[in-house]
Amino acid sequence: MKRNSLTMRTIFRHLMEDGYYPQLEKSHILFNLDDNVAVLEYEENVLSIRIFFTIEEEAFDMFLDASNSAMMETYLVKPVILDDMRNIMFSFETLCDTERDFTRFFSKGLHRLSEAITIHKAEMKKLILSNEVASAALSQQEETSMNISVNSRKILS
């Protein structure tokens, strides 16, 4: 093992020192990040930090649109829809061989991950609002056409 090589134990120690109060599991570390549970994995010199969310089926298309916006602005974070089409993951991954690499990239990765989630949430809110406005406009249009139809019948009778 080379000097200062990175291990799950050293990552865990760093997280404890930084006040994250992590939980060491068999293959990963759990810790809180911005009111979310983050999953940290380290395997074959790749450090991965992931956050998982559940989405409603109706929000699937909006999620894809919001994900594109987040990816365009934070190129280091990947939002992904998982195989079951109900769960999503935001992932930051970087090569990391030593403790020095970890201390250099970890906080930047957390910042990018938080930034991507913030962008994604803002974009989802915009999409939901525009969807609600469009639905309200359609409802108003349907109501207007119903009134016209009823009035037309009265005129014709």
| % of the chain beyond a pLDDT of 70 | 83
Domain ranges within the chain, ordered by starting residue: 8-152
Give the CB-side neighbour count of residue 27, counting CA atoms within 13 A: 3
Q: What does 15-48 look like in DSSP terms, one character per residue?
A: HHHTT---EE-SS-EEEEETTEEEEEEEETTEEE
Model confidence pLDDT, tens digit, residues 100-146:
999 999 999 999 999 888 888 898 889 888 877 777 665 655 555 55
Q: What is the CATH number of domain 8-152?
A: 3.30.1460.10
Model confidence pLDDT, tens digit, residues 24-50:
998 999 999 888 899 999 999 999 999
Which pLDDT band holds residue 157 (cuts at 50, 70, 90)?
very low
Q: Is the predicted pLDDT of residue 11 greater than 90, yes or no?
A: yes
